Amino acid sequence: MKTLHSDVVVVAAGPAGLAAAITAAENGKKTIVFEKMSTAGGAANMGMGLLGIDTHIQKRTFNDISVEEAFNLHMQYTHYRVDAELVQAYFSLSADTILWLEEMGVEFAGAFRYFRDSAATWHIVKPENGVIGPRAAGAMIKAMVSRAKELGVEIYYETPATDLIVRDGRVCGVKAVDAAGEQIEAHCKAVCVCTGGFGNNPEMIKEEFGLVQGKDFFSIQVPGVEGDGLRMMWKAGAQKYGLNVEVIQSVTLPEELRTLSIAMFQPNLLINQNGDRFMNEEYVSNGTFFANAIGLQPGRCIYSIFDGAIVRHYKKHGVDIVSLVHPDTHLEGFDSAAEQALQSGSDAFFAADTAEELAEKLGIAPEKLQDTLDEYNDMCACGVDSKFFKSHKYLRPITGRGKYYAGKIFFGAYGTLGGVRINKRCEVLDNENKSIPGLYSAGTDANTIYGDSYNFMLPGNTMGFAVNSGRLAGFAMSDYIDSLEEESI
């Protein structure tokens, strides 16, 4: 048994854990971090950037939004079913956090919208390869690790935490085991758990949400994100609270066929497995709205229907909806990608010469699919969506010119959200809403600020909450430790 002593122990070295560790160390607290994996960053290594409100970067491009505006937008979006004090503390700190990261050497490509109707709150990290896209935030993680080491933070990799040490109602340490199998006890005055939820734990996802990974749910599975921290906190008396998933539409096509996914995420006809249209397709740009609608359909999957004429239009004029995650504009390589998918026998992409043939491939009654196509095409001819009121500019008939195409889209998620309840100081609360002395949580484990639906109107929110709540926890742990030392004098 190896015994360590520290002021603060942080469980997991993702953006929340690193922010908590750095902040505690900047306030003069000896800090240890236990990281389950061989590298830091967790899900952030696949991300792009974080939310910032009223920042100097936004002001430079006249995209500024005040804390008051963002706060009111968020609280109305969530119907006030979230902790307003926590939201206010996070949003108010976010501009300073951007400066704090820049002082570490993090560079930002700018402040961006996720899609047209969202605010420009997404501060995307300037990528090392110069191309804005997934994994850009890896550069931020490197800078944070460097800053932590500079401050003397000890990071133990491949050393998962296994339990919290609780004495006289206070959390005062963490048990862990290193790569060699040696048991470790780290004694401290405050612990912050930041393990990122349980998006890579199919059994726990099924238990908590009734969703079956790979069947009616396709979560991004980040190695190591398996709910360890939540189970430790629940065992220590933490209130089980706010469990949710950060939903998104998902396809099972390989990355090299992404041009097919781009075509499928356009505002064309969407139908469920019964052959019924179910939503205004222009809202596919908002991943939360789109995925919420998919989640209500039979089998939690749907089909995007289009034809060769629409593909030709996109090749010539560009697609209707472009985002920073899906930046392709003209369906480059669509024909070869379609052929590759069809030759592979994919069950996620289909082509047919007739509507009847397409219906058979999709397992839908041919007469039902034809009725749905006829109704939709009649509305296209009139230029008025009398059913779901989609904008007329997206009403393009589907007649099968150059083949009918269909892509299968599933209910998915970036990962889970929440699990414990915290206050504005990131103190973990028990079942009576009282703080558990010495126990703090930040990031996804404690992210309960979206109610039932993630807020894409203020993009960068999950990573923004991780870094800012980590800082809030770091400040609070430092104050708590100072108060303990004053009591002992």
What secondary structure does DSSP assign to 206-245, as a single string? Answer: HHHH---BTTTBEE---TT-SSHHHHHHHHTTPPEEEEEE
- Distance in angstroms (rounded) separating the CA atoms of residues 315 and 330: 5
pLDDT at 360 over 70: yes
Q: What is the pLDDT of residue 489?
A: 67
Strand partners, 422: 428
- Give the pLDDT band (50/70/90) at residue 117: confident
Query: pLDDT of 222-269, one tens digit each?
Result: 999 999 999 999 999 999 999 999 999 999 999 899 999 999 999 999
Q: For the chain, what is the radius of gyration of the CA atoms?
A: 24
User: What contacts 314, CB < 8 A, 6 or more positions away?
Assistant: 263, 266, 320, 330, 331, 334
Query: pLDDT of 379-434, one tens digit each?
Result: 999 999 999 999 999 999 999 999 999 999 999 999 999 999 999 999 999 999 99
The amino acid present at 326, given as its one-letter code, is H
Q: Give the mean pLDDT of 287-302.
A: 97
pLDDT at 192 over 90: yes
Maximum CA pair distance of the chain?
84
pTM, two decimal places: 0.95
Query: pLDDT of 6-50, one tens digit each?
Result: 999 999 999 999 999 999 999 999 999 999 999 999 999 999 999
Q: What is the pLDDT of residue 328?
A: 78
Q: What is the pLDDT of residue 478?
A: 98
CATH of 2-204+221-239+421-488, one of 3.90.220.20, 3.40.718.10, 3.40.50.720, 3.50.50.60: 3.50.50.60
Hey, where are the domains in the chain? Answer: 2-204+221-239+421-488, 250-411
Q: How far is CA 355 from CA 369, 370, 373, in A?
A: 7, 7, 9
- Distance in angstroms (rounded) separating the CA atoms of residues 207 and 329: 40
17-21, 329-333, 463-467 — which is least confidently predicted?
329-333
Q: What is the CATH number of domain 250-411?
A: 3.90.700.10
The 8-class DSSP code of residue 415 comes to: E
Q: What is the pLDDT of residue 273?
A: 97
Backbone phi and psi for residue 286, each to the nearest 5 degrees, phi listed first: -100, 105
Strand 190-193, strand 435-441: pairing: parallel
Give me the percent of the chain exceeding a pLDDT of 70.
100
Q: What is the pLDDT of residue 132?
A: 81
Q: Give the mean pLDDT of 321-338.
A: 86
Which strands form 108-112's sheet, in the order they lie side by side? 49-51, 122-125, 108-112
